[in-house]
Amino acid sequence: MTSKSKEVAIEVVIYGLREDAYNVGNLLSEDDLYLQHPNECDARMTYINPQYLVRPGCEMSELHGVSFALASKSSSGNDILDEKRTIQLLQVFNYANGPTKFSKVLESPRLRTHLQDHQMKALAMMAEKEQGVLEGSQFGTLWDVSIDANGQNCYRHVITGSSQSTPPNPIYGGLLADEMGLGKTLSVLALITWSLDTLSINASSAEAALPRGTLIVAPKSTIPGWQQQIQRHIVSGGVRVALYYGSNRSRLSEELNTYDIILTNYDTLRSEWIGKGRDAPLCSQEWARLVLDEAHHIRNRSSKTFEAACAIPARHRWCLTGTPIHNRLDDYGALMTFLGVPPFSSKSLFDYWLTIPMNKNHSDGLRRLKKLVMATCLRRTKETVKEKLKLPQRIEREERINLNNHERELYDFFKARTFALVTGMLCELHGSSEQQKQGNILGLINCLRRICNHSEQLLPTAALNAWRSRNTSGVDWSFAQSSTSTCNFCNAELDNSERLDSPWSELSCLHVICSNCTITRIEDSELPANDPCPVCNTESTMLLCQKHPIHSSEEIALRYQPSTKVNALLENLYRERKLNSSNITGNPIKSVIFSQWTKMLDLIEIALRANGFIFQRIDGQKSLDQRIRALDVFNNNLACTVMLASIGSVAEGVDLQVANHVHLVEPHWNPMVEAQAVDRIHRMGQSRDVVTIRYIANNTIEKYVQDVQAYKLSLIHQSLGELESVQYEADEAKWKSLMAALE
């Protein structure tokens, strides 16, 4: 070895045909080479070691926790993206809106609904990917095709630069990342019916022997939406559909291959994988197509849900999600592993080519990400298609309220103490990051926000004790820290009130899960008693953590007095009721009332009941059946004109377009969360203008929350180049806004 030589350990994983396994094993043995259990491999492939001694009557044991995805632990906190970086990466996806001109695919006669132009483009993209087009692709591939000196085709990978003379294996799938409300479901149904027609036409060819069934895995909350969309858009008898869930499973397990579409949910998939592994019916059946709705549910590589999804054998694999990145680049990397995109199905190689350069701010990282997204993804926003969609108007209103004397006295008590603490903290943390500063005072800020909503009724016990004794020393940093926590799954900040509002969020392994992350994990009869923690996968960790009110609901109702903000809400609802009384169209004004705190919804519920409003409610504590019933009543009962909803509970699978008025009780830190909630009403199919009313308390911390919203929206609307040049002046402006709100 020369002085510059270096020994490098190399692990080689061998893939091949099953019938060649023992020939390969014998060949290696002749040269004293022996296969070991791999540290990393593709989780979707069956593992066979031809040199491993298996006793008669036994089978090769499965590899547990060994795959490209599972070889690495969950991303560390260092991989969490800051706000600017997250928005920058999401903007990369906005460029993947496909070609202006493309060859259209003939819609299936099984469809009764004509596709919009953007849905026709989605169908064309998905059909091209499933056909494995490499040369002449309209929607981009990872391979450039050229002619070498010998006149042979040469395939060069556009990211890694590797070349080969043999045609690479196509991906046969991809990511449809259209913004919420643009009809991704119908686009997928168009693909399924088109492929069924293709199989029927080629019934005499080899394609007739291919599997024809599509497995759709979705959150429990979206299953009713899929059923409704299938009934609405596909002619009667056009496809055979079954719901694989609960008691239906035992009956369907032997006849899955007789259906065109099987609907199931992530909880069923996970529980079957934990119980039976590859012998589970969903994993032992070969599928024509596997579709993950709200595919970000598999972004945690260490979860059993991710492991199960990757293990399902399917020729075509599709991810549907409007949020391909939450707060880590590896959220997208997990989807690449599921799709089997070479070489990025390996987490280590995804990190090497993308994550590490991006973390180091190398321009190559962003350039490579753009190429990967363009080759695997299609995404359109409402902004890009609004002219063709001709959606009705969105009318925005602000309802400004003035706190009454008692509310103002309570607010000023906590505001003065917060100002004193923050002033001292800024001196102590001079030079610290904006995230560290804001994290320290979130509990105090949220106390002020709750007072704006409903005075004392939303405050935690420690705050009430300090107020009733007028003990300012009780409002200190220990109080602030006890009122604030961080979700161990998505790293969102949550305060103590939210933790009390959300059942099943306290875990015996000491992890805390926010309401948004627990909504799809609501306990039902089919989940095992020892449901694992979604963060660490430890068994027997989920603890039922219901809220325990000090007073019964009857006691609260008897002495209940609506706050100034609730009175303003009631006045607007009365105006709507009056308009409905003179409405002869049979299409009444219906309203959806959003709050991020379920305790606030409890109080509004009392006010609605006292004033004779007929309403329904959906939140993270409702079971799937309760949600279905609530939506059915709201959609079909003309007398039911109000829906109460926690803003996190409608993030997935809820269609509320029967309503046309939206009431946002308080401003949310993240304007996109508000936008997604409103999009459940303002979406394709809405025929009326949508009125959104935001309730803001004058001269309060809510002005600061609005300033934070404006800052985040400015980031979203900036170009990639402008984002790179954003300076720290914006952070300084936010802190000045906070201090102004507290003075």
CATH, domain 89-132+170-386, list 2.60.40.10, 3.40.50.10810, 3.40.50.300, 3.40.47.10? 3.40.50.10810
Q: For residue 52, name the pLDDT band (cuts at 50, 70, 90).
A: low
Of 96-105, 519-528, 532-541, the range with the lowest mean pLDDT is 519-528
Spans of all domains in the chain: 11-66, 89-132+170-386, 389-398+553-742, 402-521
Q: How confident is the model over 622-641, as pLDDT tens digits?
A: 777 788 889 889 999 999 99
SS (H, E, C) 331-395: HHHHHHHHHCCCCCCCHHHHHHHHHHHHHCCCHHHHHHHHHHHHHHEECCCHHHHHHHHCCCCEE
- In terms of Cα–Cα distance, which of 513, 331, 458 is closest to 522? 513
More confident residue, 60 or 730: 730
Q: Identify the burial level of 324 via C-beta atoms within 10 angstroms of its C-beta, where 0-12 means exposed, 13-18 middle and 19 or more buried.
A: buried
The alpha helices in 108-161, defined as continuous H runs, are 117-131
Phi-psi region of 150 (alpha: psi -120 to 50; beta: other; left: phi over 0): alpha
pTM of the model: 0.76
Helix 304-311 vs helix 330-339: crossing angle, to nearest 10: 30
DSSP-assigned letter for residue 587: -
Largest CA distance in the chain: 93
What pLDDT shows up at residue 305?
94
Structure tokens at 577: 């009721």
Which helix (H) or strand (E) is 731 found in, with range? helix 729-742
- So what's the pLDDT on residue 459? 82
Question: pLDDT tens for residues 393-432?
Answer: 999 999 999 999 999 999 998 888 888 877 776 555 444 4
Higher pLDDT, 492 or 39: 39
Amino acid 42: pLDDT: 60
Q: What is the pLDDT of residue 6?
A: 61
Average pLDDT value for the chain? 80
Cα gap 493→212, rounded to integer Å: 45
* Amino acid 554: pLDDT: 59
The whole-angstrom separation of Cα 593 and Cα 313 is 43
- Reading phi first (left if > 0) and then psi (alpha if -120 to 50, else beta), residue 661 is in beta
Residue 461 amino acid letter: T
pLDDT score recorded for residue 473: 62
**Which tokens hold the place of 77?**
């906190």
Question: Is the peptide bond prior to 671 cis by the omega test (within 30 degrees of 0)?
Answer: no
CA-closest candidate to residue 168, choices 117, 208, 134, 210 = 134
Supply the pLDDT for residue 10: 72
Higher pLDDT, 285 or 729: 285
- The single residue listed with the structure tokens 């009318």 is 395
Q: Annotate 340-359 with b (16+ C-beta within 10 A) or e (fewer).
A: bbbbbbbbebbbebbbebbe
Tens of pLDDT along 286-304?
999 999 999 999 999 989 9
pLDDT of 181 over the 80 cut: yes
The CB density around residue 648, as the number of other CB atoms within 10 Å, is 25
Segment among 361-370, 419-428, 470-479, 564-573 with least mean pLDDT: 470-479
- Give 151's contacts (C-beta < 8 A, 6+ positions apart): none
The larger pLDDT score, comparing residue 515 to residue 576, is at 576
Residue 696, strand partner residues: 400
| DSSP 8-state code for residue 228 | H
Residue 691, pLDDT > 90, answer: yes
389-398+553-742 in CATH: which number? 3.40.50.300
Q: Which tokens belong to 67?
A: 């795959």
| Nearest C-alpha neighbor of 722 from the set 48, 269, 87 | 87
Query: Cα(429)–Cα(690) distance, rounded to whole angstroms?
Result: 45
Q: Round to the nearest angstrom and report the end-to-end CA distance of the chain.
A: 71
Measure Cα distances from 366 to 139, 159, 450 in Å: 20, 11, 41
Tokens at 684, concatenated: 């394709």
